[in-house]
Structures are given as C-alpha cells and as structure tokens.
Structure 1
C-alpha cells in the first residue's frame, strides 16, 4: 500500500465546485491524486515538482525509497533494466571501465579478469598467454616456448639454435658455444661430437673440422685444435684427433666461423 504524504500547500485555485486543488508534492514523493502524495518507491526518483514518479533508466539504480534522483552505476558494474533497485557487478571474465553502463565487456584474448566488479582487464604477464576471450586466467608457456611481452595471445616457439627448459619462460635461451639445436620448439641443445665443433652462441648447425684441424672431445667441442709438430695432419670433416700420416688436403691456416655463424668448411644439421 502506498504511504500517504501531505502535499505542499499551494495558492488556491477554485474550480466550479469550489474545491481547492494542490499542484506539488514534497521532494521524494509523487501524486496519487491531485490532493495526495505517496513516498517514491525504490527504483524510482521523484522530484516533487512534477508530481510524477520516474523509473531509473538502465545504467542507474536506486535502492532507497523517498529519493529525488537515481544513482549512476560505478565502473565495474551495470544495470540493464528500468527501475533497478540494485547494481549488478561484472562477472569474472568481463569488465566495465565506464560509469552509467548497461552491460559489461568480455575480456579480449591476451587478457583476463579473476574478480567480480572489475573496472579493467588485466594483460597476461610475459611468460603467459591467453588465446580465448572472456577468460579468468592466463596459461603458462611450456618448455620449448616463451612469451616476452604482456597481453600475448599465443606462445612463441623457440627458433633453431635456441631452447627453453622451464615453464613460463620469458625468453628463449641461446645454445652455448660447443652446442647447437637444428629444430624449433626444443628444450635442450646437442653437444658438438668428435670431429664437429661450434664456437658461437645460438647456432642451428654444427661445423665440420677443416683439413689439418681436430675436434677431439667426445662432446661439446667449442674450437678445433690446429694439428702441428709430429702429428700435423687430420682429415677434414672427420678430424677427431691429429695424426702423422699425410693427407691429400692442404692444411688450412685457420678454421673459424664467419661473423654470421657460417662454418668454414661444410656444416651439418645433426
């Protein structure tokens, strides 16, 4: 039942019947008849002057009675119907940066929200990614992959010559001198075996030995050895030790990689 509120007294206007007519209600109330007013209900506003009750528009609300205005929804919240008495918080996986809103925005790929009522989406940190919209979390990269920027929508696979062996990697690690990796998305590097060597970081190939040079280590040969003295010889491409027997090749003066990582005499991908 409507609560009755006294109307504000107004200058008398006598009609044909001689009856006094009131024209205004107190703020927070509205006319039920020309002479009586009622308390403004929740979800509405009543200015008193017009004598009318106005439902709150979508994007606003009013939980209290006897109100003269509606409340604009705060960021992270919304209302989508007229006459709302309560504000609705954005659910996880969505957000709303603006006031006076009628809906929430789903998080884009590369972002997430994990709390209700979020005013902004959170970018996935480096080492994480999210390919889907409306997400509540991000996914850590697996070994062999990485992300090095915020808001990534996909993991980046390691290029040949690089690797990662941890989850949530921020960058790929180059293979150390003495090792190499010929394939993408890998978690380790191969060591340069006997007769092969690699003197640079981040290389995809292993180099063969030059004529008169040797790579004698079982594994992880960084630089070839120049054969001299009583054992000046070694076969190119298979030199795992210096020998005294003469070879048909001409002893190379140097056996070094080029600045771009190219091998001096042949290369092998593993």
Structure 2
C-alpha cells in the first residue's frame, strides 16, 4: 500500500500542480512584438528604432521615415517635419537637406517652390535669392531674359520708361549726346537735324535760318532779307537803308545792288515749322 501511495503522489506532481511554465504567445512561431518609435525616429528593423536622417521626417507613430518632398528640406536629424522653402529659394528633388538660392537673373516670389523664374526682357536681378525682378530704369534697357543687369543707352538713343526692352532712336530734330539718356533733346533754335539717332544738331548756315526748336530742316531767307554770315542763324534780317537788297537764301548778306526779286514784307517762319513763302527747306 505504501508503494501505491507513492506512485499516486508522483503522478499528481507531474500532471499539473507544479507544472513547468509555458512560453509566451508568439515565441514558438518566431513572431516578435514591437513598439512605436518616439517622434523623430523610425523602425530600422522590426525590433529597434533609429534617429530620423537629415532630408527626412519621422512622426514616430507610423514607424516610417519619409523623404522631404520637392519644395521642402530638412538639414537636421531627429526631425518630425520638413521645412517649406522660403521665397527666393527652391528644392527640386526629394530628400533635400538644404534650400537652393535662386541665382542672379532669376527670382521666386513664392514659398514651397521647386524652381526659380527667369527674369523677363526689360528686367534683371543682380543678387541671389531674389524674390522679385527689377525693372530696368529709364535710360537703360535689356532685350534678353535671365539677365543680371541692364544696358545703358548710348548717344543718339534714349529710354523714358522703366522695363524697356530696346533703346529708342532719336527722331529728326532731336538728339542725345550722353550715356543713359532718359529723353531726346530738341535741337535749339538756329540748329536742325535731318536724321534719326544722332548725337548733335547742325547749325543753320549763312543765308538760312531756323527760328524754332526741334526742327529737322532750315529755311532759306526771303528776297530782301539776309542771314548773318555765320552758323546758327535764328532769325533773318530785313535789309534796309543803304543796303536794301538781298537775293533769296543769299549768303552774302544785305547789299546795295538791286535784285530782280520783290522785297518780301515778312520772312517769318510759321509756328508748325513751315518755311515762309517763296523760300525753301534745305
């Protein structure tokens, strides 16, 4: 009976009262239980978290690392978000760690940009990271896009408006003789200029005159009238006294010798620049 009792006790111990502990769920199948990573980190394996690299963002919750999109960047590690590019800057690839400044000749007025805008003709930028294009000032111009400067007008040309794409040639009766002219200068009375884009005016020669400014031609003197024997004659002289005569457009001045023409009562130029009757434009 003692042997039987001992056998029963041994059976009870093996069958559950002091049984060995069982393995945790998943251990036998090879499955590993993981946890969420902290913000600024991500799962680099199924069991560990790693610091988020520069050029990426990691929210921690998803356990993933996301490359920054074009138009944003992140220079630092352990970041939870990317930085939107400022105006004047851009990024054009994923995973950027730095924003790129717009070069001279371009600009970008907006944030979150993937490229810069070339300056149009008539405009320029001369500094990096420009947020707007600058119009060429009067007296200058720029025919090309993507420019970092403007071109000053030369003699015979001008620009009077900002943002000009071409220099304007002076018209007959006008001139410019400086660099960067913002307007054409009219020829003074006593002078004229028959051509365009010129840097000077001609003086009215002996026998001819010009009484107005901004004129393209000169007038010949009338019969009985003379112009001084010099250049830049403004008004004709009425011949009287001992020398009452003069040939039309004569360069000899008043003379005593009679002429075949009838002395003109007036030799005034019209307000529109037309030469007086019986004279000519030259």
TM-score with structure 2 setting the length? 0.85
User: Which residue number corresponds to residue 84 of structure 1?
Assistant: 96
Q: Which moved more, 1:77-86 or 1:144-153?
A: 144-153
Structure 1 residue corresponding to 2:208, chosen from 180, 192, 196: 196
Cα distance in structure 1, aligned partners of 2:81 and 2:25: 33
What residue is the counterpart of 1:208 in the other structure?
220
CA distance change for structure 1 residues 15 and 254 in 2, over 3 Å: closer, same or farther?
A: farther
> In the aligned structure 1, how far is the partner of 2:281 from the partner of 2:142?
37
Partner of 2:16 in structure 1? none
| Match in the other structure for 2:280 | 267
Q: Report how many residues are paired.
A: 256
Q: In the alignment, which residue of structure 1 is the partner of 2:130? A: 118
Q: Which has the larger radius of gyration?
A: 2
Q: Are the aligned partners of 1:216 and 1:241 in contact in 2 as well (CA < 8 Å)? A: yes
Q: 2:163 aligns with which of 148, 151, 171?
A: 151
SS of 1:268 mapped into structure 2: coil
The whole-number CA distance in structure 1 between the counterparts of 2:25 and 2:265 is 123
Contact 1:23 1:51 in 2 (8 A): no
SS in structure 1 of the partner of residue 219 of structure 2: strand
Q: Which has the higher strand share?
A: 1
1:180 aligns with 2:188: no
Question: Offset at 1:23?
Answer: 4.7
The whole-number CA distance in structure 2 between the counterparts of 1:21 and 1:148 is 77
Offset of 1:31 from its aligned partner? 2.2
Contact 2:32 2:46 in 1 (8 A): no
Give the C-alpha shift of residue 126 in structure 1: 1.1
Please tell me whether residue 107 in structure 1 is matched to residue 141 in structure 2: no
Instruction: Compare the two structures and name the one with the higher helix fraction.
Output: 2
Residue aligning to 1:248 = 260
Task: Give the distance between the partners of 1:240 and 1:246, measured in 2 at CA.
Answer: 13
Q: Write out the 4+ residue segments of structure 1 that deviate beyond 6 Å after TM superposition.
A: none
Structure 2 match to 1:94: 106
Per-residue deviation, 1:235:
1.3
Contact in 2 for aligned 1:23/1:34 (Cα 8 Å): no
How many Å apart are 1:65 and its aligned residue? Answer: 0.5
CA contact (8 A) 1:233 1:244 kept: yes
Structure 2 distance, partners of 1:260, 1:15, is: 109
Per-residue CA deviations over 1:126-168 (Å, capped at 9, x if unaligned) read: 1111111111111111111111111111111111111111111
Unpaired stretches in structure 2, ≥5 consecutive residues: 1-23
In the TM superposition, what whole-angstrom CA distance separates every residue of 1:30-57 from its partner, at most 9, and x where no partner exists?
A: 2234543211110011112222211100
Alpha-carbon distance in 2 for matches of 1:128, 1:241 = 47
Q: Structure 1 stretches of 5 or more lacking a match?
A: 1-13
Structural RMSD (CA): 1.8
- Cα separation, 2, equivalents of 1:256 and 1:74: 69
Structure 1 Cα separation of the partners of residues 214 and 25 of structure 2: 99
Post-superposition CA distance 1:165-203 (Å, at most 9, x none): 111111111100000001111111100011000011100
**Separation (CA, whole Å) in 1 of partners of 2:148 and 2:87:** 18
CA distance in 1, matches of 2:229, 2:130: 60
Name the SS for the 1:38 alignment partner. Answer: strand
C-alpha separation in 1, matches of 2:91 and 2:181: 41
Is the aligned partner of 1:160 residue 2:172? Answer: yes
**Mean CA deviation greater in 232-241 or 86-95:** 232-241
Deviation at 1:20, TM superposition (A): 7.8
Closer, same or farther: CA 268–17 of 1 in aligned 2, 3 Å? same
Question: Of the candidates 151, 157, 181, which is equivalent to residue 169 of structure 1?
Answer: 181
